[in-house]
Amino acid sequence: MSLTDFFAMGGYGFYVWASYAMTVVLAAIEVVAVRTRFRAARTAQLDENAG
């Protein structure tokens, strides 16, 4: 199987890759968002400690 065949997915490439790509993008957004939220909460608490 060539790489071209792999990406073509027997003619269903658009449907398959749009499914996987959206999942990866949404998961990445959530991971970044949740880490940003935790860091912000932690920073706010450290400011509280200092102030």
Partner 1 sequence: MNSINWFRFASPASFFPVAGKLARWFAVLAVPLAAAGLWLGLVVAPTDAQQGDAYRIIFIHVPAAWMSMFIYLVMAAWCAVSLTLNARLSAMMAQALAPTGALFTLIALWTGALWGKPAWGTYWAWDARMTSELILLFLYLGYMALRHAIDDVRRADRASAVLALVGAVNVPIIYFSVQWWNTLHQGATVSLTAAPKMASIMLIALMLMTFAAWSYAIAVAMVRVRAIILERERRTSWAGPLAGAAR
28 binds partner 1 (CB under 8 A): no
Does residue 41 interact with partner 1 by CB under 8 A? yes
Nearest approach, Cβ of residue 4 and partner 1 (Å)? 13
Token representation of residue 40: 């912000």
What is d(CA 28, CA 7) in angstroms, rounded to the nearest whole number? Answer: 22
> What single-letter amino acid sits at 10?
G
Provide the 10 A C-beta neighbour count for residue 17.
13
Q: Which residues bind partner 1 (CB under 8 A)?
A: 6, 9-12, 15-16, 18-20, 22-23, 26-27, 30-31, 34-35, 37-38, 40-42, 44-46, 48-49
